[in-house]
Amino acid sequence: MRVLLAEDELVLSDQIKSLLVAEGRAVDVVLDGDEAHFLGSTEPYDIIILDLGLPNRDGISVLKNWRREGVDTPVLILTARDTWSERVDGLDAGADDYMTKPFNMSELAARVRAMLRRKSGQTNPVFEVDDIIFDSRNGRVSKNGIPVDLTTQEVAVLSYLIHNSGRLISRTELSEHIYEYDGDRDSNTIAVFVARLRKKLGPNIIRTIRGRGYLIDAT
């Protein structure tokens, strides 16, 4: 799952990125409102974390522009300002959630996971597909109750397919959601990750629709 993080406090942005990368997210960091608006308008993110106090263009105006342009990516606002009117302004501008600085990193990670579940129409953080259990809270996977060791990229591919179960996902879409903006988005490597997942989890966990992409059936 891919995240846009718009935060100009370098220490804080590094901390947040490290936290999300450890959970298997691909994270693009921008430091001002103009960059945030450009990437949020042109790249396919699963969630955006947006600081209100950005230079060049403030977060509220960036968010309003996204919503006017039809960008419906879930947005979590971060702000050092803690007044009810500013929270109302942010939510009315189109934000999906709101956190006031300073905040607990574990809570931020939990809110991100909850927003991703809501986006995919899921309420339970634990996904079950046949004899496979995927716990989105920690990225752990088990088969018939036995833990399965997956690489970070394998977890990223499995997570995206499971969060979008029942929907056909092309190789291009998968590569756009597991790599960062400046990453090597070689869609051919997706086939390698899928083959490894089938070897570890069973040949029927992921279906291939020839020439179109991959599918995990909805349960």
Which domains can be identified in the chain, with CATH numbers? 2-119 (3.40.50.2300), 126-215 (1.10.10.10)
Q: Are 43 and 4 in contact (CB under 8 A)?
A: yes
User: Is residue 125 helix, strand or coil?
Assistant: coil
Average pLDDT, the chain: 89
Q: CA-CA distance, 34 to 44, in Å (whole number)? A: 17
Q: What is the pLDDT of residue 23?
A: 85
Tokens 């309420």, residue located: 123
Q: CA-CA distance, 135 to 79, in Å (whole number)? A: 30
> At 88, is the pLDDT very low, low, confident or very high (cuts 50, 70, 90)?
confident
pLDDT above 70 as % of the chain: 96
∠ CA 4-113-92, nearest 5°, is 65
Checking if the pLDDT of 54 tops 90, the result is yes
User: What pTM was estimated for this model as a whole?
Assistant: 0.86
